[in-house]
Amino acid sequence: MGRYVLRRLVQLVPVFLGTTFLIYLLVWAIPGDPFAGKCGDRPCPDAYITRMRAEFHLDDNVVVQYARYLGNLVQGDFGQTFNGTSVGALIAAAYPVTVRLALVALLIEAVIGLAAGVLTGLRSGGYLDNLVLVSTLFLIAIPVFVTGYVLQTVLGLRLGLISPTVSPAAGFGELIVPGFVLGSLSMAYVARLTRTSIAENRRTDYVRTAVAKGLTPRRVVGVHLLRNSAIPVVTFLGVDLGSLMGGAIVTEGIFNIRGVGGLIFRSIQTKEGATVTGVVVLLVVVYLLMNLLVDVLYAVLDPRIRYD
């Protein structure tokens, strides 16, 4: 396993170089004039443009530019925005918020989704089963922005149970409702995946053996059945965490959360190339690492899987 992880990490290097170069190319070489609209209604003065192009080395060959960027990146320097703010500082402010929101969403998905899936998987066809099937269908069908605005209006504005927007501190408590909104679709998938998995494994021979050993029903289900049925669910949650860590433009927008999704959205609008590149590069790395984590997790959960 250790060697496998090492090999995968080494493989990440060319993938990292390739994707970041592509991003760099897309952000800096293609979008025409980065200074259009930077100076209010009038076009920017030539002197300003010349100075900025020199400062950001925009007239160098793009490969040279990329190599320089990479060199700085390796030293932890994400560069600066056009008005001199450190991109690293922007990320450092936004990313923890995104991570907290992702964790809250993941927790909600896992707890509610697993519980609903286990209960319905054990008794398919019952009242609860139908209730869960219909409500998950509902969640899958409704777009996130609808769930978001409805909950914000009802819980925040009408009932006053929550603040309609999240404060800049974005504590865990404030993120529960946004986390629910963000995780609702995956929660529905988790419930259905768990239900199918439990229903399939319920009749397996090893469950029968566990019963024949005289174990309590609670232990048969909670240890033997659940441990096997959770394998695909945990894998799904791992992949989902990877995408949650990429920020949530819609949910962040609705609740005014200062996460990485909003940051990237705003910097694309204002053509802040350094910020876009920095954030996307970070997200690529996180995504690649999460994928590796999922593969490792899979082998840990299912000892029959061997990578070496």
Q: Which residues bind other proteins (CB under 8 A)?
A: 203-206, 208-216, 219, 224, 227-228, 231, 301-304
- The Cα–Cα gap between 236 and 109 comes to 11
Minimal distance in Å, beta carbon 221 to other proteins?
13
**Nearer residue to other proteins within complex by CB, 91 or 220:** 220
**Nearer residue to other proteins within complex by CB, 225 or 274:** 225
**Nearer residue to other proteins within complex by CB, 76 or 303:** 303
**Nearer residue to other proteins within complex by CB, 205 or 308:** 205
- The Cα–Cα gap between 161 and 45 comes to 52
Minimal distance in Å, beta carbon 125 to other proteins?
12
Minimal distance in Å, beta carbon 228 to other proteins?
6
Minimal distance in Å, beta carbon 60 to other proteins?
56
**Nearer residue to other proteins within complex by CB, 210 or 288:** 210
Minimal distance in Å, beta carbon 220 to other proteins?
10
CA angle, corner 189, sides to 188 and 192, nearest 5? 90
**Nearer residue to other proteins within complex by CB, 40 or 214:** 214
**Three-state SS across the chain?**
CHHHHHHHHHHHHHHHHHHHHHHHHHHHHCCCCCCCCCCCCCCCCHHHHHHHHHHCCCCCCHHHHHHHHHHHHHCCCCCECCCCCEHHHHHHHHHHHHHHHHHHHHHHHHHHHHHHHHHHHHCCCCHHHHHHHHHHHHHHHCCHHHHHHHHHHHHHHHCCCCCCCCCCCCCCHHHHHHHHHHHHHHHHHHHHHHHHHHHHHCCCHHHHHHHHCCCCHHHHHHHHHHHHHHHHHHHHHHHHHHHHCCCCHHHHHHHCCCCHHHHHHHHHHCCCHHHHHHHHHHHHHHHHHHHHHHHHHHHHHCCCCCCC
Minimal distance in Å, beta carbon 131 to other proteins?
23
Minimal distance in Å, beta carbon 119 to other proteins?
19
**Nearer residue to other proteins within complex by CB, 228 or 277:** 228
**Nearer residue to other proteins within complex by CB, 166 or 198:** 198
**Interior/surface letters 61-80, b for 16+ CB within 10 angstroms, e for the rest:** eeeebbeebbeebeeeebbb
Distance of CA 219 to the CA centre of its chain: 34
Minimal distance in Å, beta carbon 116 to other proteins?
23
